[in-house]
Amino acid sequence: MSEFKVHHREGEGVNVIELKGYLDAHTATDLETAFQRLLNDRKYNIVVNCRDLTYISSAGLGVFMAYIEDVRKNRGDIKLTNMSTKVYNVFDLLGFPILYEIYKEEQEAVRKFNEHAGPSR
């Protein structure tokens, strides 16, 4: 069953993770694996493009929480982009916009990283 897909691409010193489908307690481990792989490779500038993410539950939100500390300790960040209103509302209910940078378009997030280009790539 292909209810959730994670696609990774790299460019301009930023790693982009594209999410597609349903991110819930069943599929959250796929996203964990993707984050863990980036951290293992010391890649800490991460943009998560949510354009094709149709659903998220707290299990999915928990994955972002699990990795944000490690990423920021290494002077990187996880920036979120292209959310539908439905998905944004769930992030908003849990106060994520205070703690995470959320942009309408992927390019805005990439630009932010490049404005503050540091040693972590």
Q: Which residues bind other proteins (CB under 8 A)?
A: 1, 3, 22, 24-26, 55, 57-59, 61-62, 65-66, 68-69, 86, 89-90, 93-96, 98-99
CB 22 within 8 A of CB 79: no
Pick between residue 39 and residue 65 the one whose CB is nearest to other proteins. 65
Q: State the minimum distance, in angstroms, from the CB of residue 68 to other proteins.
A: 8
Partners of 16 in beta bridges: 9, 47
Using DSSP's 3-state secondary structure scheme, residue 106 falls into: helix
Pick between residue 34 and residue 110 the one whose CB is nearest to other proteins. 34
Q: State the minimum distance, in angstroms, from the CB of residue 11 to other proteins.
A: 29
Would you state the structure tokens that stand for residue 85, as one six-digit string?
């209103």
Pick between residue 90 and residue 108 the one whose CB is nearest to other proteins. 90
Q: Can you give the three-state secondary structure of 24-83, one letter per residue? A: CCCCHHHHHHHHHHHHHCCCCEEEEEEEEEEEECHHHHHHHHHHHHHHHHCCCEEEEECC
Pick between residue 13 and residue 55 the one whose CB is nearest to other proteins. 55
Q: State the minimum distance, in angstroms, from the CB of residue 115 to other proteins.
A: 24
Q: State the minimum distance, in angstroms, from the CB of residue 60 to other proteins.
A: 10
Alpha-carbon distance 18 to 48, whole Å?
A: 6
